[in-house]
Copies of this chain bind each other. A is one copy, B any other.
Amino acid sequence: MSDTGILTIISGFSGVGKGTLVKKLLENYDNYALSISATTRQMRVGEKDGESYFFLSKEEFENRIEKNDFLEYANYVGNYYGTPKSYVVEQLKQGKDVLLEIEIQGAMQVKKLMPEALTIFVMPPSANTLKDRLVGRGTEKKEVIEARLGRAVEESQGIENYDYILVNDDLEESTKRLNELISLAHDASFRNYNFINKIREELKVFRKEI
Interface residues of A (CB under 8 A from B): 1, 121, 123-124, 126-128, 130-131, 142, 145-146, 149-150, 152-153, 156-157, 159-167, 177, 180-181, 184, 187-190, 192-193, 195-196, 198-200, 202-204, 206-207, 210
Could you say which residues of chain B place their CB within 8 Å of the CB of A187? 164-167, 177, 181
- In the A-B complex, the 10 residue pairs with the smallest Cβ-Cβ separation, listed nearest first, are A127-B202, A149-B207, A156-B200, A127-B199, A164-B187, A159-B196, A131-B206, A146-B210, A153-B203, A162-B189
Give the interface SS of chain A, mostly helix, strand, loop or mixed.
helix
User: Are A193 and B160 CB-contacts (below 8 A) given A1-B167, A210-B145?
Assistant: yes
A189 to chain B, nearest CB (A): 5
Whether the Cβ atoms of B190 and A142 lie closer than 8 Å is no
Do B145 and A200 touch (CB < 8 A)?
Answer: no
Instruction: Give the CA-CA distance A150 to B210 in the complex, in Å.
Output: 11
Using A165-B1, A188-B164, A189-B121 as known contacts, say yes or no to A153 and B199 having CB atoms under 8 A apart: no
Bound state CA distance, A203 and B133, in angstroms?
13
Q: Which residues of chain B are near A207, meaning CB under 8 Å? A: 146, 149-150, 152-153
Contact (Cβ within 8 A) B163 A189: yes
* Contact with A124, one of B121, B149, B199, B210 (Cβ below 8 angstroms): B199
Contact, CB under 8 Å: B130 / A203: yes
